[in-house]
Amino acid sequence: MKLDVKSIDGKDCGRSVDLPDDIFGIEPNEHAVYLAVKQYLANQRQGTHSAKERNAVAGSTKKIKRQKGTGTARAGDIKSPIFRGGGRIFGPRPRTYGIKLNKKVARLARKSALTSKAQAGSIIVIEDMKWDAPKTKNFTGVLNSLDLAGKKSVFVIADDNPNVYLSSRNIQKTKVMRAQDLSTYDVMNSGTLVISEGAIEKIKATFAN
């Protein structure tokens, strides 16, 4: 698949790039994409939730009343879960929500996500952005020229570029990331995937390893 390269002003640069079919033109595997997105969201959970059960609640262990003859139910101590201030029954405990995903499945999921975007016509290739200083105005101008203002988009760049990242940091619904950090979730969660020329080579190198 070939796409025309656009400038940061939204105009054609007069050249095109070839998106490899083994990455952007495979048969999408929806189940692999589902598993990759599920893993990503699961890994975002901290799992630090915790509640005090009866063995962790501070309180006396003295038997609060005699066993028989009171006319009410038996009670061992004040920390019983049935009393106010007692422990919680089967409360949440710290745990890890991360799930395992095979490398081949993860690679297939990323290729499937990129292919889906390519088939939907939601990929734009632009020239590399090189700015001397971070300015939100510059990045806003790029969004306006590509008709992406107020729309969900992910900009994929080749290498670390603090000026580009800082220029986009205060803009909602847009995200800038390196090609090697691109995940299946980021691709599927974006309305439009904007890839710089240099990032395409990085994506090829990522799947070549």
Q: Where in the chain is the domain with CATH 3.40.1370.10?
A: 2-29+101-208
Structure tokens, 76:
């061992």
Whole-number pLDDT of residue 69: 93
- Residue with tokens 């290739």, as numbered in its chain: 125
Asked if residue 31 has pLDDT above 90, the reply is: yes
Dump pLDDT digits (tens) for 62-79: 999 999 999 999 998 999
Whole-number pLDDT of residue 128: 87
Asked if residue 61 has pLDDT above 90, the reply is: no
Alpha-carbon torsion angle 101, 102, 107, 112, nearest 10:
-60
pTM: 0.82
Whole-number pLDDT of residue 12: 85
CATH of domain 2-29+101-208: 3.40.1370.10
Asked if residue 209 has pLDDT above 80, the reply is: no
Rama region for 147: left / alpha / beta (φ>0; ψ in -120 to 50; rest)? left
Structure tokens, 152:
């969900």
Question: Among residues 119, 90, 130, which one has the least CA distance to residue 26?
Answer: 119
Give the whole-angstrom CA distance, residue 49 versus residue 77. Answer: 26
Dump pLDDT digits (tens) for 10-20: 888 888 888 88
Residue 47 · residue 94 · CB < 8 Å? yes
